[in-house]
A = this chain, B = another copy of it.
């Protein structure tokens, strides 16, 4: 028995879920730096959205416990070791990815206030403030809610039931890894921070991936785990950039340009494997059709909604039309992946282009069927920028089930971006 560890743990008033500001996705930090540089005066509101209304979060999770966890996150600041790592580590083969002015600001950062209210069986949780500050709430807030929900379900279980639950979950992850091991030339990373079962579980999954997949495992999106386990931190950019840029657009013409303006700013800041197009915010087809030629020179594309094989075909065709060699390009799949889908997509596209996978929730939170009433099944919780400088944001994506924003604005965006009929696809996670 390690008495010191037990006594140390007793000192916590709570058992904190987030213990570090870098227990977040790497791309958040890249985007944060970009926003800090290009849009430092933008006021943005992030909001929690539980797309799985059948999961009554406010019924499962005690409001006091939720506040304690969120308050604890507000007490965090970057530690010296974390700062040293961010300043000195090589990311994507490059030193000093984070510039001194950004690091100075980050070292003094405490996260801004949150607004929490119970509305029926759900929580209304919003974050208002400077974009580059509130944006850092997203991953932490999601991870807190996911883990508090896990803890609520686990709370009723005995010690051996818990041991066996994790034994089963470990067995499941390992069997997935054994299947992936057989795929020649696989390239896969952990993207599962936001909707993970819990921090320790994600940490275990990352170690299992490294042990089981060797060089096929390319890294994790989680900075803290990347630092501690000495694996690569992985990620580029997300929908919030074009969503906020678009909300800020003064008119329809500016709106039509906004998604390219985002990437133009990114182009100045990053090269190589960080130049990954995320084309689906307002429909992939229109985005590619109207894209400037310099974008075809980018390294790759990330497919995050719609039918992944169909959109990968569209991307390959687009590169060919623009005179690019798809074999020199990379397609990153990151939407609702599990092992069979990964194997299928790899089989279809390996040899025609470079293929990678960002594996999320069904890596770090596949507890489906392991407790009664499936109380630990993952569900579709997101935290999105809903307005910028007072104007609502809109997301369309290639799956209308993932669209968000006020109806009139959605209609306007559809008109501006020329969106016709879209295929509905069920959202699992």
Binding site for B on A (CB under 8 A): 1-2, 5, 158-161, 163-164, 166-168, 170-171, 174, 207-208, 211-212
Which single member of B5, B164, B212 contacts A2 (CB below 8 Å)?
B5
Question: Is the CB–CB distance between B174 and A164 below 8 Å?
Answer: yes
Contacts of A160 in B (CB 8 A): 174, 207-208, 211-212
Give the docked Cα–Cα distance between A209 and B288 (Å): 61
A171 in contact with B168 given A5-B2, A159-B211 (CB within 8 Å): yes
19 contacts between A and B (CB under 8 A): A2-B2, A2-B5, A158-B211, A159-B211, A160-B174, A160-B207, A160-B212, A161-B174, A163-B170, A163-B174, A163-B208, A164-B170, A164-B174, A166-B167, A167-B167, A167-B168, A167-B171, A167-B174, A168-B171
Interface of A: prevailing SS: helix
Give the docked Cα–Cα distance between A167 and B207 (Å): 16
Contacts of A170 in B (CB 8 A): 163-164, 167
A-B pairs with lowest CB-CB distance, top 7: A167-B167, A2-B2, A164-B174, A160-B211, A167-B170, A167-B171, A160-B208
Give the residue among A158, A161, A164, A207 with the most B Cβ atoms within 10 A.
A164
CB closest chain-B residue, reference A207 = B160
A366 to chain B, nearest CB (A): 14
Give the residue among A1, A5, A167, A212 with the most B Cβ atoms within 10 A.
A167
CB closest chain-B residue, reference A174 = B164
A154 to chain B, nearest CB (A): 16
Give the docked Cα–Cα distance between A233 and B191 (Å): 51
Contacts of A5 in B (CB 8 A): 2
Contacts of A2 in B (CB 8 A): 1-2, 5
Q: A160-B174, A167-B168, A171-B171 are in contact. List 5 more A-B contacts (CB 8 A).
A: A1-B2, A158-B211, A159-B211, A161-B174, A167-B170
Contacts of A163 in B (CB 8 A): 170, 174, 208
Give the docked Cα–Cα distance between A163 and B211 (Å): 12
Contacts of A1 in B (CB 8 A): 2
CB closest chain-B residue, reference A211 = B160
Give the docked Cα–Cα distance between A170 and B168 (Å): 9
A369 to chain B, nearest CB (A): 13
Give the docked Cα–Cα distance between A208 and B160 (Å): 6
A58 to chain B, nearest CB (A): 33
CB closest chain-B residue, reference A5 = B2
CB closest chain-B residue, reference A175 = B164
Contacts of A208 in B (CB 8 A): 160, 163
Give the docked Cα–Cα distance between A322 and B212 (Å): 65
Give the docked Cα–Cα distance between A390 and B241 (Å): 90
A132 to chain B, nearest CB (A): 37
CB closest chain-B residue, reference A3 = B2
CB closest chain-B residue, reference A164 = B174
Give the docked Cα–Cα distance between A160 and B181 (Å): 14
Contacts of A174 in B (CB 8 A): 160-161, 163-164, 167
Contacts of A211 in B (CB 8 A): 158-160
A172 to chain B, nearest CB (A): 9
Give the docked Cα–Cα distance between A164 and B1 (Å): 24
Contacts of A166 in B (CB 8 A): 167
